[in-house]
Chain A
């Protein structure tokens, strides 16, 4: 479904992605793990069109989307939930959700999706008139995910959805990801919480200073001695 082929990215003249290649197949949950600063966020930003790909290619459903503008990539069904939630603080919860469906033209479909998102996240419905900035961290993460679901993505890119959340909420986020996956949405998951990500993932890649250094099924990667030492802290 998605193929990232030898992608290189720069910030100024610092080379942060040095030829990253991996693929995500339809229906999979693929985890991308790595230390802070490895280039995970940059990889997702390269896919969603927020940073320029200097070299290499991003291919989605057989067609290149390399350096397409973000709105064109969203329209193709790829939705990116950015690191740190990034909800629109000074808009209401409901307006945040409505903007999630910005590319959807059919009003009836929009209403139906909104109903489904509220069903999945009843807290958001309770707080729909509140400014998003007044929500707790966990609620903001639910809003960020709910907002992404509003356009009925086929491929969801999640950047550290469990970051900064209490353990009980971390478990809730992971169970939501599992549910979303079961409805047929393909997921590329970036996580610091490697243990839980590897448990959930069908396959996983390890990114180190801008290159993929290891790949395999979630279980294989979790069993790798280096991964256990570096990311699972055993």
Chain B
């Protein structure tokens, strides 16, 4: 098989774009894990809700895409906050396994509700980022990949600024590091749980509404996205923010490269890479070298 430079750039660009989406998902897993020591099996459904909310706001209510994008992400963040208040908080005094099982229940419930609202048909989201390729010299680039990467970079940069520059962001990190000590600083640690759940869900939601104009929207679309996001988080080093970003990008690019050779196995490739990396580095790429 023969690739031109332009082909290769295309493949890497689409890999980085998908990788940015995986990174958003992986960050969602990471942030809620750090707050609640919880693997949230409903994270994929936040992605689905982002896409379906976006669809309703943009296609049915005819809001500008930028507004639909923001409202969809914020709407999913509110869903995350409601889940924390109604499910995670009451279950906190039980073993964490109970909570993890509960997230499976949340996932099933959300999919059933989504099916009632949006139906079982795959829905088309108009190509808001334009579907005509742009040419830069000899390179032919799809604009939606550039948009996805650009927006994801902004979202991640804002998240990073929140964690390192603002008092609530520092308080959230402190609570993740030492919950009792954080409480002794006067931090309302339950409010931090709520915020963590909202941010995690919102990141999933932004991922979903970003990808919606590229793929079809279905109520089941969260399942694979959730798995890939989780794989990316593990790949990078579970529980760390840089790990989630690196894991997402590595997964996206290697998947894209592999798919260009054997397109039928695109999704299997992700998990082969995951297993191979974990055999080589059990703590993930950026993980601590323990165990």
Question: Which residue from A79, A80, A82, A99 sits with its C-beta under 8 Å from B170?
Answer: A99
Q: How far, in Å, is A90 (CB) from chain B's closest CB?
A: 6
> B178 touching A74 by the CB < 8 A rule?
no
When distances are taken between beta carbons in the complex, the residues of chain B under 8 Å from A69 are: 183, 188
Q: How far, in Å, is A203 (CB) from chain B's closest CB?
A: 25
When distances are taken between beta carbons in the complex, the residues of chain B under 8 Å from A98 are: 167, 170
Q: How far, in Å, is B221 (CB) from chain A's closest CB?
A: 35
Q: How far is the CA of A147 from the CA of B182 in the complex (A)?
A: 11
Contacts A70-B184, A71-B186 known; list 8 others, CB within 8 Å. A74-B185, A82-B184, A86-B181, A91-B170, A98-B167, A99-B174, A99-B182, A99-B185
Q: Enumerate the 7 nearest inter-chain pairs by beta-carbon distance, A residue then B residue, closest first.
A: A74-B186, A103-B186, A70-B183, A86-B181, A71-B188, A102-B185, A88-B174
When distances are taken between beta carbons in the complex, the residues of chain B under 8 Å from A70 are: 183-184, 186
When distances are taken between beta carbons in the complex, the residues of chain B under 8 Å from A87 are: 181
Among residues 34 to 49 in chain B, which have CB atoms less than 8 Å away from a CB atom of chain A?
none
> A86 touching B173 by the CB < 8 A rule?
no
Please count the residue pairs between chain A and chain B whose beta carbons lie under 8 angstroms apart in the complex: 64
When distances are taken between beta carbons in the complex, the residues of chain B under 8 Å from A89 are: 177-178
Q: How far is the CA of A70 from the CA of B171 in the complex (A)?
A: 15
Question: Which residue from B177, B178, B184 sits with its C-beta under 8 Å from A48?
Answer: B184
Q: How far, in Å, is A88 (CB) from chain B's closest CB?
A: 5
When distances are taken between beta carbons in the complex, the residues of chain B under 8 Å from A80 are: 184
Q: How far, in Å, is A101 (CB) from chain B's closest CB?
A: 9
Q: How far, in Å, is A22 (CB) from chain B's closest CB?
A: 21
> A50 touching B184 by the CB < 8 A rule?
yes
Supply 6 A–B pairs (Cβ within 8 Å), ascending by A.
Answer: A49-B183, A86-B181, A88-B173, A88-B181, A102-B171, A102-B187
Among residues 88 to 135 in chain A, which have CB atoms less than 8 Å away from a CB atom of chain B?
88-91, 95, 98-100, 102-103
Q: How far is the CA of A70 from the CA of B183 in the complex (A)?
A: 6
> A100 touching B181 by the CB < 8 A rule?
no
Q: How far is the CA of A209 from the CA of B183 in the complex (A)?
A: 27
Q: At the interface, yes or no: B267 with Cβ under 8 Å from chain A?
A: no
Which residues of chain A have a CB within 8 Å of any CB of chain B?
48-50, 69-71, 74-75, 79-80, 82, 86-91, 95, 98-100, 102-103, 147, 151
Chain A, residue nearest B188 (CB)? A71
> B183 touching A99 by the CB < 8 A rule?
no
Q: How far, in Å, is B72 (CB) from chain A's closest CB?
A: 32
Q: How far is the CA of A70 from the CA of B190 in the complex (A)?
A: 11
Q: At the interface, yes or no: B180 with Cβ under 8 Å from chain A?
A: yes
Among residues 188 to 202 in chain B, which have CB atoms less than 8 Å away from a CB atom of chain A?
188-189
Chain B, residue nearest A49 (CB)? B183
Chain A, residue nearest B191 (CB)? A71
> A82 touching B180 by the CB < 8 A rule?
yes
Given known A50-B184, A70-B184, A82-B181, contact A91–B167 (CB-CB < 8 A): no
Chain B, residue nearest A104 (CB)? B186
Q: How far is the CA of A166 from the CA of B260 in the complex (A)?
A: 63
> A151 touching B186 by the CB < 8 A rule?
yes
When distances are taken between beta carbons in the complex, the residues of chain B under 8 Å from A71 are: 183, 186-189
Given known A91-B170, A95-B170, contact A102–B186 (CB-CB < 8 A): yes
When distances are taken between beta carbons in the complex, the residues of chain B under 8 Å from A103 are: 185-186
Most chain A CB inside 10 Å of its own CB: which residue of B170, B184, B187, B188: B184
Most chain B CB inside 10 Å of its own CB: which residue of A80, A91, A99, A103: A99
Chain B, residue nearest A84 (CB)? B181
When distances are taken between beta carbons in the complex, the residues of chain A under 8 Å from B177 are: 88-91
When distances are taken between beta carbons in the complex, the residues of chain B under 8 Å from A49 are: 183
Q: How far, in Å, is B110 (CB) from chain A's closest CB?
A: 31
Most chain A CB inside 10 Å of its own CB: which residue of B167, B177, B185: B185
Chain B, residue nearest A151 (CB)? B186
Q: How far, in Å, is A173 (CB) from chain B's closest CB?
A: 19
When distances are taken between beta carbons in the complex, the residues of chain A under 8 Å from B171 are: 99, 102
Most chain A CB inside 10 Å of its own CB: which residue of B167, B178, B186, B189: B186
> B178 touching A100 by the CB < 8 A rule?
no
When distances are taken between beta carbons in the complex, the residues of chain A under 8 Å from B180 are: 50, 82, 86
